[in-house]
Structure 1
Amino acid sequence: MEDQLDLFERYEWEVSGGLSGERLDKAVSSRNEDWSRVRVQEWIKSGLVLVNGRAKKGNYRLKEGEMIEVLVPPAEELQVEAEPIPLDIRYEDEDVLVVNKPRGMVVHPGPGNYSGTLVNALLAHCKEDLSGIGGVARPGIVHRIDKDTSGLLMVAKNDRAHQSLVAQLKEHSVERVYVAVVHGVIPHENGTIDAPIGRDPAHRQRMAVIHKNSKHAVTHFTVRERFSGTTLVECRLETGRTHQIRVHMKYIGFPLVGDPVYGPKKNAYPIEGQALHAQVIGFTHPRTGERIRIEAELPEDMERLLHFLRARQ
């Protein structure tokens, strides 16, 4: 065991300020956004989390000046299998692939989702032709959209293409247009939300508009159609933060219809998951320099939602 502990990452810090009186499991999980509460609780049960050198239960209340020590076990090597899952491919050549992801599909493997992901499908379709920059779990993945968001994603088939597309994302030259249905009737025709996004300190699985430990985030929106109590909007991303459109629209008082995290608890509309679709992707081709622009029609569930909203006007 001592030899194995050499492979563990060790973290140590003193309890101070807001951590005094906090539960041990919550305090440790808030230390690092990659440390989920469930994962931390497993470490606590395994004796990998110590307070003043002693193991404690997850509900132990911390005291000012105590020392917390965490031993993070080495990551297990992930084996990602190719799976013959049908893909809706909208563009493909030797460098780049654009796929229209269905709602409900996870982009890459992770805890609780080791199969049935877009990466599993891409490995079957592309064989060895995917960039390796994203690592074993994320071959070819340049950017992501949420599980319950549908729409267009760029995929890099080699490292040169990957580096080019990532650079375009960083310089904000990739066109990304989303369509969403939000609660409330937006009175103005368009607007820009310039508000930083970071991990919600009260709910570590969520994001929020906060000014500490956050990143610059900008969303431009335009009203497409108004209904009784809801609005169809077009959102253009200037930046690409986690849950950006969902968080920004909630921030200005118009959360997405069907959003189980940022919207009302009760969903009274005929759609499962947030009504959000990545409709347009535009980028400069990494090899030819040609401007590529792909547009995907709304999925059936969003069309049904719009029909429902129009019918009850």
Structure 2
Amino acid sequence: MTREEIIVKEEHQNTRIDKLLSDAYDFSRSRVQSLIKDGHILVQGNPVKANYKVKVDDVITVVIPDDEVLEVEAENIPIEIVYEDSDLMVINKPRGMVVHPAVGNLKGTLVNAVLYHCKDLSGINGVLRPGIVHRIDKDTSGLLLIAKNDKAHLSLSEQLKDKSVSRKYKALVHGVLEHDYGTIDAPIGRDVKDRKRMAITEHNSKDAITHFKVLECFHDYTLVECSLETGRTHQIRVHMQYIKHPIVGDPTYGYRKTMDVGGQLLHAYEITFVHPSTNERMTFQCELPQVFLDVLHNLETEEL
């Protein structure tokens, strides 16, 4: 359990307390409201409602209970292992699979599947995310690194931090791009109107850079390759929407009228990194999933 005190500054005068704290702790508004309801948030030592508007010099006491200890079970779920040794695995995650468990969703994830295959994983990210060095969205397919020990995890994490890991994606986007290649440099943060979405914003944002290259053009669509210089949540999806070429099938950032393909056509097809033990530079690739290939085949047929 952690206990903190916040003294309200002038710039936050008349801000709702649930909004102030959701921004300060990067919590969802509903989680803050739950903490308030359970008496874990006090102002001047007294309970308040979620719509309380703070005043200058208010002393807000925030008590955050310890997370519930959860057990993650190994499950016999088939996974495609592209590469494996004593330090790491490279896995081709299928569309529709969540990477790691969370409260209320403890089964059917990639972590559950990996634990069935390999009992020894890095513990740096805790019990819910053993071995997970980086993530991709549920409906994004493609290559992920899994660390089997802490030494490998630290090495791979450092490579991601210093941007020496190369990650390339293929995406089908709406429209025809004006340029064959380019760079999108726009900061990404939580959408102030919807905490489940990300947005190009100056509000609690972080630098985000995506490079893109046109691979093939169709009448109303373009196949692009995107490479990440940073790794923000939903980065490629947000950036492609920002330049008005959202990813086909994206239920969150795409057009309302888009192909019904069960999620965004975004695939992490290549990853390059330095092996943590051998120092060998390694590159792995994987094919597009069948649903993606089928869409491309139909578009190519229409072009004939």
What is the TM-score when the length of structure 1 is the normalising length? 0.89
Does the alignment pair 1:172 with 2:163?
yes
Aligned to 1:204, the other structure's residue is in SS state strand
Q: 2:269 matched to which residue of 1? A: 279
1:122 maps to amino acid: V
1:302 alignment partner AA: F
Identity within the alignment, %:
55
Give the secondary structure class of the aligned counterpart of 1:215.
Answer: coil
Task: Tell me whether 130-139 or 203-212 shows the greater mean CA deviation.
Answer: 203-212
CA 1:11/1:114 → structure 2, altered by over 3 Å: closer, same or farther? farther
Relative to structure 1, the CA distance from residue 8 to residue 161 in structure 2 (aligned partners, 3 Å threshold; closer, same or farther) is: closer
Measure, in 1, the Cα distance between the counterparts of 2:42 and 2:91: 46
Q: Which runs of 4+ in 1 moved over 4 A?
A: none
Q: Hey, what's the Cα distance between the residues in 1 that align with 2:197 and 2:83? A: 33
Aligned residue identity for 2:279: G
Aligned to 1:31: 24
Q: Does 1:81 align with 2:66?
A: no
**Aligned residue number for residue 158 of structure 1:** 149
> Is 1:307 the equivalent of 2:270?
no
Alignment of 1:233 with 2:227, yes or no, is no
Contact between 1:257 and 1:267, CA under 8 Å: does it hold in 2? Answer: no
Number of residue pairs matched by the alignment: 302
Distance 1:312 1:55, change over 3 A: farther
After superposition, the CA RMSD in angstroms is 2.0
**Counterpart in the other structure of 2:286:** 296
SS at match of 1:98: strand
Q: 1:185 to 1:19 in 2, by over 3 A?
A: farther
Contact in 2 for aligned 1:30/1:201 (Cα 8 Å): no
The 3 A distance-change label for structure 1 pair 19 and 76 is farther
- Unaligned segments of structure 1, at least 5 residues: 1-6
Distance 1:311 1:150, change over 3 A: same
Give the counterpart of 1:57 among 30, 49, 57. Answer: 49
> What is the alpha-carbon distance in structure 2 between the residues aligned to residue 100 and residue 46 of structure 1?
42
SS at match of 2:53: coil
Q: 1:19 Cα shift?
A: 5.8
Displacement of 1:15 in angstroms is 6.6
**Equivalent-residue separation in structure 2 for 1:54 and 1:258 (angstroms):** 48
CA contact (8 A) 1:249 1:255 kept: yes
Alpha carbons of structure 1 residues 8 and 185: separation in structure 2 relative to 1, 3 Å: same
Q: Which moved more, 1:97-106 or 1:24-33?
A: 24-33
Alignment of 1:252 onto 2:243: yes
Provide the rounded CA distance (Å) in 2 between the counterparts of 1:63 and 1:72: 20
1:121-154 deviation per Cα after TM superposition (whole angstroms, max 9, x unaligned) = 1111101x21122221211111111111110001
Give distance in 2, aligned partners of 1:182 and 1:97: 30
Match for 1:148: what amino acid? D
In structure 2, the residue matched to 1:3 is none
Letter in 2 for 1:270: D
Offset at residue 14 of structure 1 (A): 1.9
TM-score calculated relative to the size of structure 2:
0.91
CA change 1:44–1:244 in 2 (3 A) is same
Cα offset, 1:117, TM superposition: 1.1
CA shift for structure 1 position 87: 0.9
Answer yes or no: is the 8 Å Cα contact 1:15–1:62 preserved in 2: no
| Cα shift at 1:38 | 2.4
Instruction: Give deviations 1:22-77, integer Å, cap 9, x for gaps.
Output: 3x4333322221x222222221221222344433333x241543544322111122
**Match of 1:272, as an amino acid?**
G
Report the secondary structure of 1:231's partner residue. Answer: strand
Aligned counterpart, 1:134 = 125
Q: In the alignment, which residue of structure 1 is the partner of 2:212?
A: 221
